[in-house]
């Protein structure tokens, strides 16, 4: 059974996937999805769900430009919202952060005085706010997968947002909705499409202030909390329990997810099997990562002749890892079988399923890294080191590290505690 390319799992340009030298991220991300469906690590400000819902009403019925089908109406709406935040200057205020696309927008406005597909994000369907928050917006029933407003939850959120803004009659024919829709249509008609509004500074400020990520008000806050914490419709599995833990135990460090999961298991034992699986997989991932980092350090500090991998068997950390690797592999494979991920794990990490000496582990780790890099695209990516004969390697300059790795029991990967903490902060 051949493994698929890593790029089929990792979003294009994903920092987690592209800086994953051992192919560990994919399974960790799948376990995180099991724990908290639809929430992604790059999510930071919950109010972009509102911008998506209102935008779906604004762009309802707007026809695409047939000559530029790569620019859908929702994309133009995103341009306008981000441009408004940049133009109005409110993006520089305290509390306004994590707005996707602001840096490229600022650069585009200084050169072109508008935004178009060439000047905006290269992969907006991944890194724009529609791309980042789409999974959660769809799962919460706000929009469908084409960003069309869903009647119940989507309409409810738009009404809550409008009520806070003293515009309870906001709808498709409301003057503000019409003004924003006209701006989207005008921008789409341009050749090529780009933002064109004839707006004054007041108009830009109006749009920016409507969706500032730190300005959620009462009715909208209640509606967004209900989208996240509702256990009856499409619950987000452990999200409500993690939320409760962070809300009731202010001393909880969301960066120490291993400890968070121990505490979560105490208050919500229904997640125990999944949390144990995550711990087993992270133990295996930690051993592999620390050993690779030790090799990386030795190769970085070796002389011009490179590093003989056979000599790394003298490293205490690699030696300890070799002794613990096989039981860690067995534990992880057994735990993953409950979630039908053991076959993929065994295929990817088969070379670590047998006893290895420290020197053998170093050799296998480097071979594994080379295979993982080759799987990252159809053309493959270069390993972080060059082979210079036999078991000797030389670390490429951009991947050299001066300090040896610090032994750790912490997780290698993230499991959504941080975005939940940020959502909690915005909705408190």
Q: What is the pTM of this model?
A: 0.91
24 contacts 394 by C-beta, under 8 angstroms: no
**DSSP 8-state code for residue 194:** B
Contacts of 243 (CB under 8 A, 6+ apart): 228, 229, 420, 423, 424
Sheet (strand 307-308) strand order? 307-308, 392-395, 385-387
Task: Give me the residue spans of the domains in the chain.
Answer: 6-36+272-399, 48-231
User: How many other CB atoms are found less than 10 A from the CB of residue 206?
Assistant: 16
**So what's the pLDDT on residue 91?**
60
What does 95-133 look like in DSSP terms, one character per residue?
T----TTHHHHHHHHHHHSS-BTTTS-SSHHHHSHHHHH
Residue 176 CA neighbour count, 13 Å, CB half: 16
> Which parts of the chain sit beneath pLDDT 70?
1-18, 91-92
- Tokens 């993929």 belong to 344
- Tokens 């989507």 belong to 154
**So what's the pLDDT on residue 377?**
85
């Amino acid at each position: 059974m051949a493994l698929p390319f890593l790029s089929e799992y990792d979003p294009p340009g994903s920092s987690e996937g592209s800086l994953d030298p051992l192919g560990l991220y994919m399974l960790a991300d799948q376990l995180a999805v099991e724990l908290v469906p639809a929430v992604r690590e790059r999510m930071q400000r919950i109010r972009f769900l509102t911008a998506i819902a209102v935008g779906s009403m604004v762009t309802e019925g707007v026809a695409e430009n047939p000559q530029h089908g790569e620019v859908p109406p929702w994309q133009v709406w995103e341009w306008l919202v981000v441009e408004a935040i940049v133009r109005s200057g409110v993006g520089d205020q305290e509390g306004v952060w994590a707005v996707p696309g602001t840096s490229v927008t600022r650069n585009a406005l200084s050169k072109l005085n508008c935004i178009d597909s060439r000047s905006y994000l290269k992969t907006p369907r991944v890194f724009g706010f529609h791309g980042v928050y789409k999974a959660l917006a769809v799962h919460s029933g706000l929009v469908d997968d084409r960003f069309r407003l869903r009647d119940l939850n989507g309409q409810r959120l738009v009404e809550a947002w409008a009520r806070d803004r003293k515009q309870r009659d906001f709808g498709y024919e409301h003057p503000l909705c019409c003004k924003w829709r006209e701006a989207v249509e005008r921008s789409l008609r341009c050749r090529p499409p780009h933002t064109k509004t004839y707006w004054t500074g007041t108009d830009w400020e109006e749009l920016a202030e409507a969706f500032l990520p730190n300005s959620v008000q009462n009715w909208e806050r209640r509606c967004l909390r209900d989208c996240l914490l509702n256990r009856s419709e499409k619950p987000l599995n452990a999200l409500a329990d993690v939320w409760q833990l962070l809300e009731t135990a202010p001393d909880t460090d969301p960066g120490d997810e291993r400890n968070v999961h121990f505490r979560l298991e105490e208050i919500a034992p229904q997640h125990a099997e999944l949390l144990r699986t995550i711990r087993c997989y992270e133990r295996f991932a930690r051993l592999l990562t620390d050993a690779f980092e030790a090799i990386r350090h030795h190769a970085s500090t070796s002389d011009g002749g490179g590093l003989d991998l056979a000599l790394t068997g003298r490293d205490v950390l690699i030696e300890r890892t070799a002794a613990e690797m096989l039981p860690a592999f067995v534990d992880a494979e057994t735990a993953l079988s409950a979630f039908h991920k053991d076959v993929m794990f065994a295929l990817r990490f088969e070379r670590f399923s047998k006893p290895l000496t420290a020197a053998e582990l170093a050799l296998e780790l480097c071979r594994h890294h080379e295979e993982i890099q080759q799987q990252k695209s159809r053309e493959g990516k270069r390993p972080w080191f060059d082979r210079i004969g036999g078991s000797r390697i030389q670390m490429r300059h951009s991947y050299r590290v001066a300090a040896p790795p610090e032994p750790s029991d912490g997780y290698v990967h993230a499991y959504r505690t941080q975005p939940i903490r940020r959502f909690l902060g915005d909705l408190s």
